[in-house]
A and B are shown apart, each in its own frame.
Chain A
Amino acid sequence: MISVQTAPFDVGAEQRLLTRERTDIGAVVSFTGLVRDFNERPDVQALTLEHYPGMTERALRDIVTEAEGRWCLQGVRLIHRVGRLEPGDPIVMVAVASAHRRHAFEACDFIMDYLKTRAPFWKKEHTVSGQYWVAERNKDIEDAKRWEAT
């Protein structure tokens, strides 16, 4: 399940949906990204997240499909929010179910690394000293490259 939405999400409810009526799942790993009140500048008051409707959903689907090809997964739920968000708000959630924990840990890590470098989302930060679009980070690009050799 992949969703790009403005509404908040409930990680517990998403995890229950992932494991509902199944007893073959041995591990669920979930990651939730939150809005921080400091980033490129201190005192971030809000974020505005933009996406490219159509292309973003497809990019996310491609990333999940690639993860499903690399690891034995029994379910993935991926939610990314767009619109205006404030510090403490959840932005993104990836929940991965597998028979064994290693597959779930690695697939979750992989999906987030690829999401940050391949999915069309853009963040604008609103701070006490003004607003600006967030620049790409080399660290994110390096993190995504880790998966290319394997």
Chain B
Amino acid sequence: MSLTHLNSRGEAHMVDVGDKAETRREAIAGGRIHMRSETLALLAEGGLPKGDVLATARIAGIQAAKKTHELIPLCHALALSKVEIRFEPDSANSCIEVTATCRLTGRTGVEMEALTAVSVACLTLYDMCKAVDKDMRIDGVRLLSKTGGKSGDYQRDEAVDSQDMSASALPAAQYQRHVSTDVRDMPMITGESPDGHISIAPRNEQPCVQVKLLAELRERLGISDVDIPFESLPSPTVAGLKQALRLHDERFSLLTERRVLCAVNQVMSADDMSLTDGDEVAFFPPVTGG
């Protein structure tokens, strides 16, 4: 078997994917961050100094998947149709299992995107918790499965891995069960929710954009969170999302009539910002703090 990123002279090159057939491709990668049990407990109760740890790490992972081509030299820029980051705190092994699912219909695989998403989500967890725990360790970053494309499907056999990986690695069968039920159904932990806070909703199975409405907009519309199917967007941008919302409910015309600000994955964004499945898009009025 030869390395596709090296040409006949052994030089690095980008693989020409123009002639490959477009297929639906999905990759799932996993990783793990070990921490002290007290750190894990603090994280679960939202008591860490940097705030909403899992919500921030999830967004960091999604952003990283979208930017993989900027980090890994020979990766193509891909229009991902879905990025999903899941966290499963494991108190028995004092760690958090992180999985990233990336999907697209296209000509290249998305395993690099899934691996990058897991890595950056783990690094963000480290950053968010390092004030209280510097002994954390990231390991087990690996491809779990891959489907679609010419090279065929791949499914990691975790039983083989567990011989040389840490004792907390889950056997394959057990992993499958976790993915199909526990992880998928687990809501994001967002910590304490006093007045004025909004929790992040459980992840949706259908490809969606998660819309959040804050402050006066939420009260006027009587809606705090709404998932808009990605397929219903006339164009995959913030402007397209506004159109889709208006079709969903005429009252969303508020979003274009007033001065309304928008953040995509918690970064201020304009109408032409592109969206992918799993993005968190918040609309809110001009800010009035201080």
Contact = CB atoms under 8 A, between A and B. Distances in A.
A61 B215 CA distance: 22
Contact of A122 (B49, B197, B198, B285): B285
A119 B50 contact: no
B119 interface: no
Interface of A: 1, 3-4, 6, 33, 48-55, 57-58, 80, 82-84, 91-92, 112, 115-124, 133-137, 140
Interface stretch (B11-19, B51-59, B178-186): B51-59
B284 A52 contact: yes
Query: Chain B interface mostly helix, strand, loop or mixed?
Result: loop
B171 interface: no
Contact of B51 (A1, A48, A57, A120): A57
Nearest to A58: B266
Contacts of A118: 287
A55 B285 CA distance: 15
B282 interface: yes
4 closest residue pairs by CB, A with B? A121-B289, A50-B196, A122-B215, A136-B286
Given A52-B284, A83-B196, A121 B51 contact: no
Contact of A53 (B190, B219, B263): B190
Interface footprint category on B: 20 to 34
Interface of B: 49-52, 55-56, 59, 190-191, 194-198, 212, 214-216, 219, 259, 263, 266-267, 282, 284-290
Contacts of A122: 214-216, 284-285, 287-289
Given A82-B196, A83-B194, A133-B216, A54 B52 contact: yes
Contact of B289 (A53, A58, A119): A119
Given A4-B51, A54-B51, A121 B290 contact: yes
A62 to B, nearest CB: 10
Interface centre among B191, B212, B214, B287 (most CB of A within 10 A): B287
A55 B289 contact: no
A121 B289 CA distance: 5
